Amino acid sequence: MKKRTFTICLALLLVLSVMLSACTSKVPTQGDAVPAPPTEKTMRLTIDSEPPNIDPQIGTDLYSIMIGGHVLEGLVRVYDGKVIPGIAEKWDISADGLTYTFHLRDSKWSDGVPVNAKDFYYSIIRLLDPKTAAGYAEVMGFYIKNAEKFYKGEITDKAQVGVKVIDEKTLEITLENPTGYFLRLLGFMCFLPAREDLVTKFGEAYASEPDKMVFNGPYVVKEWKHEEAVVLAKNPNFWDKDKVNMDIIDLPIVTEATTAMNMYETGEVLSAAIPEEMLDQYIQNGTAKMMPNGGLFWLQFNYSSKDYGKILGNVNFRKAISYAIDREALVKAVVKRGTPASRYVPDNIMGLNGKFAAENPMDALTVKADPAKAKEYFNLALKDLNLTADKFPTLKLLGADSSSARKFCEAVQDMLLTNLDLKIELVNVPSKQRLQLVSERGYEMVYANWFPDYDDPMTYLDIWVTGGGFNRSDYSNPAFDTLIKEAKAATDEKVRQQKMLEAEKILIEDMTVVPTHWGANAYVQSDKLVNYVRSMVGADPDLTYVDVK
């Protein structure tokens, strides 16, 4: 969700721009010559939206995850696809795969207070506390022993949750079932530490301003001008500071991709995302870089809509929408990156020995529109709903206010009108407002997406369990819930894979959402960039050790 994080709308695609500059403070001119202060390395990137917050247990969007991953350090860090030590310099795993013992290194928060095991204990319990209302509590936290029971109030004693402080430098985590990718989960935003004294002091305002939190990652938030820019500075207290090369990372908020790209074209920046309308040009000249990002893009429906819940919750209506969508045309003419989605789980996600999709082939979705099928299912929906086509209401499609998202929604609007004679009203708002509307169920249809939090099919599947924190359609299928529970409890990996495949088939049959395409990042990058890591999960880009030669 880079997992990856619940983000909705193509506008959440990160727009990258990188600039190296030299900054030298003025020095006195009177008296003896004074040596100039060291030159600061400054890197500039643009993001296209304001991060709602960078509270590790609350943040769920791409920008919160990207910034949070640079100002906070977890027990481990997932860097360039590999799990590397973070605050835990080493760990032991029990023979049965259930108990992880983490041995913490000496490290400090940005205010000089030592980081200790209690900070991680507090943060995990906070994640699981229903009062926190953490979006990732269920999909990430329930792997821990008794976490689900604690979250649901079935037990109230925190001591029964599988997290224990052995001493200031030792933390023990016990799982419900062996989970081979658990270390990868720990690198995600929701498991990054928050400090109890400051959360208590600032309450809901925690992490809303630079002076309302502390940092233990490679950078600190130096400045945050809301809706304008976020400025990061190298953290002198970071345990691995000697390998951090940049002094300043400036993140101005630029909503138009063409503006950032023009900065690259004029030589002002060293990297930028390529806008859709310019992609062909850069593909032809051979400078475009493509990276499948694991993003699954879809049309989502509010089954609980006050006015139109019965329509949006009707499976035949959703199937009609699916058949009316020309996925190939959307990718070729509008998105111009990625691949038409032929199923739910993207084709680059790991399976048993290779890729899950290749090991379990399925062409469940049509690549081209099928108007006849669309009308067939629409007529079935009309019969279910006791409606006639001329009385069918105009529905609203919520989307981002970026140019790329507007174009996508306009294309969908045209396809639904052409293939179904279905009238759609477009509503485009800033991403922060869009997130709030979806969370509060203040939408009818929304153009949304999900990015992987870890490299496994489960990161796409378990968001749809009944009552799940990211299940903002309010979808429910007991058979699906059972399969997810069985998959998570399976100790045989082949059994787990089969359960996940069966669960995916249910999502397709129920047409829980209408997948449109699998995403990819298209960008240009100067050869001067070193250790400029693009990542499918977690913070993208990962600038922990970036440098410019």
- DSSP per-residue letters across 335-355: I-SSEE-SSSS-TTSB-SSSB
| One domain, residues 78 and 213 | yes
For the question of whether the overall pTM of this predicted structure is more than 0.85, the answer is no
| One domain, residues 311 and 204 | no
Mean of pLDDT values over 440-448:
97
Cα(338)–Cα(291) distance, integer angstroms = 9
The encoded tokens of residue 7 equal 């983000």
The domain spanning residue 83 has which CATH number? Answer: 3.90.76.10
Enclosing domain of residue 480:
293-520
| One domain, residues 228 and 374 | no
| One domain, residues 134 and 238 | yes
What is the three-class DSSP state of 425? strand
What is the three-class DSSP state of 451? coil
How many domains is the chain partitioned into structurally? 2
Question: What pLDDT does residue 40 have?
Answer: 86
Q: Per the domain annotation, does 177 fall within a domain?
A: yes
| One domain, residues 336 and 211 | no
The domain spanning residue 388 has which CATH number? Answer: 3.10.105.10
| Residues 533/16, Cβ–Cβ less than 8 Å | no
* pLDDT band, residue 37 (cuts 50/70/90): low
Fill in the DSSP letter of residue 533. Answer: B
Terminal Cα distance for the chain, rounded: 32
Question: What pLDDT does residue 402 have?
Answer: 81
| One domain, residues 236 and 306 | no
Fill in the DSSP letter of residue 214. Answer: -
- 3-state secondary structure string, 470-496? CCCCCCCCHHHHHHHHHHHHCCCHHHH
Q: What is the mean pLDDT of the chain?
A: 91
Q: Per the domain annotation, does 283 fall within a domain?
A: no
Tens of pLDDT, residues 232-244? 999 999 999 999 9
Question: What pLDDT does residue 2 have?
Answer: 43
Give percent of the chain with pLDDT exceeding 70. Answer: 93
Q: Per the domain annotation, does 44 fall within a domain?
A: no
User: How many CB atoms within 10 Å of residue 278?
Assistant: 20
Amino acid occupying residue 262: N
> Looking at the predicted structure, is the pLDDT value of residue 19 above 50?
no
The encoded tokens of residue 289 equal 């870089």
| Residues 250/276, Cβ–Cβ less than 8 Å | no
> Looking at the predicted structure, is the pLDDT value of residue 15 above 50?
no
| Contacts of 320 by beta carbon, 8 Å cutoff, 6+ apart | 374, 375, 376, 377, 378, 380, 381, 420
User: How many C-alpha atoms does 78 have within 13 Å on its Cβ side?
Assistant: 28
Q: Per the domain annotation, does 244 fall within a domain?
A: yes
Question: What pLDDT does residue 36 have?
Answer: 54
| Residues 80/543, Cβ–Cβ less than 8 Å | no
